[in-house]
Structure formats: C-alpha cells, structure tokens
Amino acid sequence: MEEKRQTHPNAYKPWTPDDEQQLGERCAQGASLEDLAQEFGRDLGAIATCLLKINAEGPAADEVAGFGA
C-alpha cells in the first residue's frame, strides 16, 4: 500500500461525500480521467469506479463508459 501511495497519495483511502461531490463537479466541468487521477491522487481505476458510483456526467465519465465499465 505504501508503494502505491508514492505515486497515488490517496490510494485506498475512503472517498468522503465532499470528495465525491468535487469529483462530480470537476467531471462536469470537463476534466479528463487522467486530470482527475492527478488532482485526486488516485489511480484511474479508483476514479472510474467512483465516477460510476456517483453517476457523473462529463468527459471523464464518457471515457469510463468507453472502457466498457
């Protein structure tokens, strides 16, 4: 886990309601999946999973749908 956190500081930390809201807002503002991973310090899979959970809309959510998630 510590090794993963060297590249993704928030890896394995639970998402707070505020984090989820902010993620949805940034997605709606046009942020890409990669942008969100950088901003939130999480890997692409964690971002994708959360975007699906919150039914986000925007470019990053479209990217996730394109992966067949």
- Write down the pLDDT at residue 2: 67
C-beta of residue 47 within 8 angstroms of C-beta of residue 40: yes
pLDDT score for 68: 58
CA neighbor of 48 nearest in space, from 40, 35, 60, 58: 60
> Residue 7's pLDDT is what?
78
Residues 17 and 31: their CA atoms lie apart, in Å, by: 19
Written as tens digits, the pLDDT of the chain (69 aa) is: 767 677 788 888 999 999 999 999 999 999 999 999 999 999 999 999 999 999 999 999 999 987 655
In this predicted structure, what is the pLDDT of residue 46? 95
